[in-house]
Amino acid sequence: MEKGGAESSIACARCGKPASLQCPKCAQLKLPREGAAFCTQDCFKEAWSSHKSVHIKLDALTLQQTPEGWQYCLKKGRTRTSQLPRFDWTGPLRPYPISKMCVVPDKIEKPDWALDGTPKIEPDSDLQKRVEIKTPEQIERMRETCRIAREVLDAAARIIKPGITTDEIDRVVHEETVARGLKEYDMLTLLSLVSRKLEDGDIVNVDVTVYYKGVHGDLNETYFVGNVDEASKQLVRCTYECLDKAIAIVKPGVRFREVGEIINRHASMSGLSVVKSYCGHGIGELFHCAPNIPHYSRVWHDRLWPDEWTAVTADGKRSAQFEHTLLVTETGVEVLTARLPSSPDVFPWLKP
């Protein structure tokens, strides 16, 4: 803590008592002393968990306003650098610089972590410990939101071809979402958080989550870029089949672990393994909540890039992913983000 000047009495940001100490990070960022002053070290420590969000918000605003834009991403987008991060990379894939954050109009409803990526309500919600049974009204909102998420993802799929940059895919997702008066959370790719031109033979994953009417719709698919080798075709098809087989067993009474066992068994029989970094999760008014649904049994090998978001295989080989938002019904399951009759025809195995 830094000792402040004696020019005037400022209230402690936590308890309201007269304060003469100032948060050193706020002083470094040249933030006003109001809201950054504390009466004692103990008060500062007690307030830190909530006070530190002020720094994150400023960092996020700085990233949006920075004129140079195109930089490498670190710490889930909260930090950027002009230099390629030093890291023991696996495989041929590398991060590329990314552009500035897309601007969402003020009139659009946003979740509580839209600005800085840090959820405020979610971590301490009791829905992290208990599974919420959705009301009919919530279910209808989820159906509408998930259909929109599917339409947005389909719009991204239609432009994928060699020469398109991942930044252009991000732009399409943003524009398609905002045009509907919504806010998309993330547009992630296997080339995650980069602006690289897609090359003939690539595979690319596009992950879209829409927030609308207070609920979320989440899905992703992996697409072929031009002429793809047989190993990649098999990888993507097997991944699609893993999700399909898992969905087929979903109904009341099925144990969570059975889902992972089905997925792991099918992947293993195809000579593939399952990455463990992320798992299925509950969703609704919160983006992530109970229950967590492991999609693996035991086998996994992966690493995390310096951006603290991109998971890659330890051996540098390719990976693929498919994701749906599911509603468990009395008799089975409803796929809320299912493909539509208008969805682009991009998967050969679905053709009659």
Residues 131, 34 share a domain: no
The per-residue pLDDT for range 91-116, each reduced to its tens digit, is 888 887 777 777 788 788 888 877 76
Exposed (0-12), middle (13-18) or buried (19+): which is 285, by Cβ within 10 Å? buried
Claim to verify: residue 156 and residue 29 sit in the same structural domain = no
- Burial class from Cβ neighbours inside 10 Å (0-12, 13-18, 19+) for residue 124 reads exposed
Task: Give me the pLDDT at residue 30, please.
Answer: 63
**Residue 301 vs residues 23, 63, 91: alpha-carbon distances, Å:** 41, 33, 14
Residues 35 and 110 in one domain: no
The top-scoring range by mean pLDDT among 223-227, 278-282, 301-305 is 223-227
The closest of 185, 200, 183 to 309, measured between CA atoms, is 185
pLDDT at residue 321 greater than cutoff 60:
yes
Co-location of 109 and 237 in the same domain: yes
Residues 15 and 108 in one domain: no
Domain boundaries, position 34: 10-40
**pLDDT at 7 (0 to 100):** 42
The domain tally of the chain equals: 2
pLDDT for position 46: 83
pLDDT score at 63 = 45
Shared-domain flag, residues 28 and 114: no
Confidence grade of residue 316 (pLDDT, cut at 50, 70, 90): confident
Instruction: Indicate whether 174 belongs to any domain.
Output: yes
Q: Give CA 166 to chain center in angstroms.
A: 15
Q: What is the pLDDT of residue 195?
A: 64
Mean pLDDT of 159-171: 92
pLDDT in tens, 35-51: 788 888 888 888 887 77
What is the structure's pLDDT at 166?
A: 87
Task: Tell me whether residue 298 is in a domain.
Answer: yes
Q: Could you tell me whether strands 18-19 and 10-11 are parallel, antiparallel, or unpaired per DSSP bridges?
A: antiparallel
- Domain assignment present for 313: yes
Structure letter (DSSP) for residue 323: B
- CA–CA dist 347, 335 (Å, integer): 18
Query: Do 290 and 145 fall within a single domain?
Result: yes
pTM: 0.77
Q: What is the mean pLDDT of the chain?
A: 84
Q: Please state the separation of Cα 153 from the chain's center in Å.
A: 14
Is a pLDDT exceeding 50 seen at residue 188? no
- Give pLDDT tens digits for 19-75: 888 888 777 666 677 778 888 888 888 888 777 766 655 555 444 444 445 677 777
